[in-house]
């Protein structure tokens, strides 16, 4: 039997897929899995699953896999983590701008695939859940490759 070389990107994909479908709960209820992500990465003050959690999800997955992480809740913080790359592989980090390229707002996830118009990423807080979603390619700010720490 062949052994599989566990790379940071492969480890991240495997762990992220284990959470596929985790969803915010409506109203006053809170998804304890999402709140645990915030707590585990050092943000226990977050007490609701309505708080933007795409960066919390990627930080949590990276922490679990012993990979580099931003430790921050803003998606654009990932632009300073790991190594900048031009051609991503599955499991690399992809960072998008949101609302305006000059805004502080963004989104972050794990790159899955691209076509001429869209980038598909696996991430948290995508339609309020962990899933694979399409984002306009022109909104990509950058791609990052992580290493084990």
Q: Indicate the domain borders of the chain.
A: 8-145
Q: Which H or E run contains 35?
A: helix 32-40
Per-residue pLDDT at 146 exceeds 90: yes
Enter the CATH code of domain 8-145: 3.90.1720.10
Per-residue pLDDT at 132 exceeds 70: yes
Could you read off the pLDDT of 32-41 as tens digits, one per residue? 999 999 999 9
Q: What is the average pLDDT value for the chain, to the nearest integer?
A: 96
Confidence of residue 13 (pLDDT cuts 50, 70, 90): very high
Q: For the whole model, what pTM was predicted?
A: 0.96
What are phi and psi for residue 63, nearest 5 degrees? -60, -45
pLDDT above 70 as % of the chain: 97
Alpha-carbon torsion angle 18, 24, 30, 36, nearest 10: 30
Residue given tokens 């984002």 in the structure block: 135
């Amino acid at each position: 039997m062949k052994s599989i070389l566990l790379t940071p990107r492969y480890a991240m994909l495997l762990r992220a897929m284990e959470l596929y479908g985790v969803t915010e709960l409506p109203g006053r209820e809170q998804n304890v899995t999402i709140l645990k992500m915030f707590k585990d990465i050092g943000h226990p003050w977050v007490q609701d699953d309505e708080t933007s959690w795409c960066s919390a999800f990627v930080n949590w997955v990276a922490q679990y896999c012993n990979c580099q992480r931003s430790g921050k809740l803003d998606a654009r913080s990932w632009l300073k983590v790991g190594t900048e790359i031009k051609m991503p592989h599955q499991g690399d980090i992809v960072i998008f701008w949101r609302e305006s390229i000059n805004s502080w707002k963004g989104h972050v996830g794990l790159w899955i695939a691209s076509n001429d118009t869209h980038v598909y990423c696996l991430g948290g807080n995508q339609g309020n859940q962990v899933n694979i979603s399409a984002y306009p390619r022109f909104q990509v700010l950058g791609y990052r490759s992580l290493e084990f720490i």
